[in-house]
Structure 1
Amino acid sequence: MSNEPLRLTVLGCATPYPSVDNPCSGYLVSHGDTRIWVDAGSGTLGPLQRHVRLDELDAIWISHMHADHSADLLTAYYGVLFADIRLAAPIPLYGPEGIADRLAGFLTNGPARSPIESAFAITELHDGHAASVGSLRLTSRAVAHGMPAFAVRIEAAGTSLVYSGDTAPCPSLTELAEECDVLLCEAESAQPSVESEQVHHTPEDTGDTARAARAGRLLVTHVGRFLTPERAVARASARFDGPVEYAAPGATFSIG
């Protein structure tokens, strides 16, 4: 397994709602037999099943609780408890503090709280949280999104992928991404925001973060609707000298 590459499959990257051919944010990260669903944005459960069944997942990791990153946890809940899936054990779910109660608030329709914990074995993230899932090592850092939000560094066999989640440029993301092989970084904002209100990267910010972290390769994702992917890549490339690509829905990238 040590010679196998780390793989990133883009399930979707639209924001803030799905387009006809692009679900919201969601990725499948795999290495050997280990598979993690990273963010479960609206519409990503469908394409996830092209690659893995819900009962074959080793874990789910959620950056924050905005619907375009987490809404398909609700349909996954019904899938694993009330359909054709038979879990041997609840799926490990890593997410921000309070994620269980947030899900239960949506799913409970009577006096009894929906059995969230029967579907998901929940671990709440904190800054610096570390976990091993199969052959993968996950390190999470709190980032600047105006709400509890995290980025993650995923490592296997000497290779590394860092995913920004949603965030303004911040030291914790740059530190997490230091000398990573691939940085998967959002580029939501077409124009810079007022500093006190900034909660996303512009494409220029994305390039700056990749350069400051000395990343080997930059994948631009979560491109806002006032940008084209091509323009976002071009603007990020003006700030980062390494390879820059768009994380197109359906694409799979090998790392290492």
Structure 2
Amino acid sequence: MTSDLLRLTVLGSATPYPSVDNPCSGYLVSRGDTRVWVDAGSGTLAQLQRHVRIDELDAIWISHLHADHSADLLTAFYGALYADVRLAAPIPLYGPPGIAGRLAHFLTNTATRSPVEAAFDVHELYDGHQVRVGALTLTSRAVAHGMPAFALRIEAAGSSLVYSGDTAPCANLTRLAEGCDVLLCEADSAERPSEGEQVHHTPEDAGDTADAARAGRLIVTHVGRSLTPGQAVARAATRFDGPVDHAAPGAVFSIG
């Protein structure tokens, strides 16, 4: 029996490269028969196949084009076109401007451009982009990461999950997360930079964002290697009174 609950499955949450037991950023978000692969960091394609085949995905959504969030699109391309998968149609792929060209640059090895669009039906994100994918509504907002980057709100049957992607604290993320059931927020930085542009949340920032947005629950992810997950959870909890968890690889969270 398929579940009517909105469900978050953590495929990986490591940064900036996978550990022996944790791939980079990637998540499967599902409700009923609708399944969306959110970020495709290194190592996540292998874990995705524990739950769904490539040709069973309804869409892929990519927050930004750093490799720890998108590199497994390259191997997904080969799987979709040149192996045992038979696509009925290209997989809808929602990602930052220029994503098709970036993939083609890496995949093309001759004078002929690799057929990226045969595997992926590419849709470029913009601030306020919204699309219905099966049972899910996906809304994207631009966030502050020093490059084109987006956060995502997924809604289904009154339940809501917001994913920060990679970003410094910013008004767009707080507004997108307003009143959400779960905020999945990165906590990459141990400390705020003393100078220069901030492009990530600290654990305390994650707690502050969850508190300002009145989120029901905070899940910290993308925890930098100078922190342990336990440290990140404890530090975020000093700023947010609700439940705080870590996006451990393989964890499944039911929402709503």
1:78: how far off? 0.1
Q: Give matches, 1:93-242, under 5 Å.
A: 93-194=93-194, 196-242=196-242
Q: Equivalent residue for 1:14?
A: 14
1:194: how far off? 3.8
Q: CA separation in 1, counterparts of 2:2 and 2:213?
A: 25
Q: CA separation in 2, counterparts of 1:44 and 1:232?
A: 22
Are the aligned partners of 2:149 and 2:166 in contact in 1 as well (CA < 8 Å)? yes
1:3: how far off? 7.8
1:70: how far off? 0.1
Give the SS at the match of 1:81: helix
Unmatched tracts of structure 2, length 5 or more:
none
Q: Equivalent residue for 1:59?
A: 59
Task: Note if 1:34 corresponds to 2:11.
Answer: no
Give the SS at the match of 1:197: coil
Are the aligned partners of 1:2 and 1:157 in contact in 2 as well (CA < 8 Å)? no
TM-score (norm 2): 0.99
1:193: how far off? 1.3
TM-score (norm 1): 0.99
Q: CA separation in 2, counterparts of 1:3 and 1:10?
A: 17
Q: CA separation in 2, counterparts of 1:38 and 1:195?
A: 32
Q: CA separation in 2, counterparts of 1:88 and 1:111?
A: 28
1:51: how far off? 0.1
Closer, same or farther: CA 2–47 of 1 in aligned 2, 3 Å: closer
Q: CA separation in 2, counterparts of 1:14 and 1:169?
A: 20
Q: CA separation in 2, counterparts of 1:4 and 1:31?
A: 6
Query: What per-residue deviation string (whole Å, max 9, x for no partner) do you get for residues 2-38 of structure 1?
Result: 9811000000000000000000000000000000000
Which one-letter code corresponds to 2:48 in the other structure?
A: L
Task: Note if 1:83 corresponds to 2:83.
Answer: yes
Which one-letter code corresponds to 1:212 in the other structure?
A: A
Are the aligned partners of 2:3 and 2:32 in contact in 1 as well (CA < 8 Å)? no
Are the aligned partners of 1:3 and 1:157 in contact in 2 as well (CA < 8 Å)? no
Q: CA separation in 1, counterparts of 2:45 and 2:221?
A: 18
Closer, same or farther: CA 4–190 of 1 in aligned 2, 3 Å: same
Which one-letter code corresponds to 1:138 in the other structure?
A: L
1:224: how far off? 0.2
Give the number of equivalent residue pairs.
256
Query: What per-residue deviation string (whole Å, max 9, x for no partner) do you get for residues 24-77 of structure 1?
Result: 000000000000000000000001000000000000000000000000000000
Q: CA separation in 1, counterparts of 2:54 and 2:2?
A: 25
Q: CA separation in 2, counterparts of 1:3 and 1:201?
A: 32
Which one-letter code corresponds to 1:32 in the other structure?
A: G
Q: Equivalent residue for 1:46?
A: 46
Q: CA separation in 2, counterparts of 1:207 and 1:68?
A: 23
Give the SS at the match of 1:206: helix
Closer, same or farther: CA 162–203 of 1 in aligned 2, 3 Å: same
Which one-letter code corresponds to 2:25 in the other structure?
A: S
Are the aligned partners of 2:203 and 2:233 in contact in 1 as well (CA < 8 Å)? yes
Closer, same or farther: CA 32–3 of 1 in aligned 2, 3 Å: closer
Q: CA separation in 2, counterparts of 1:87 and 1:195?
A: 48
1:196: how far off? 4.1
Which one-letter code corresponds to 2:240 in the other structure?
A: F
- Of residues 192-201 and 64-73 in structure 1, the stretch that sits farther from structure 2 once superposed is 192-201
Closer, same or farther: CA 178–195 of 1 in aligned 2, 3 Å: farther
Q: CA separation in 2, counterparts of 1:42 and 1:7?
A: 22
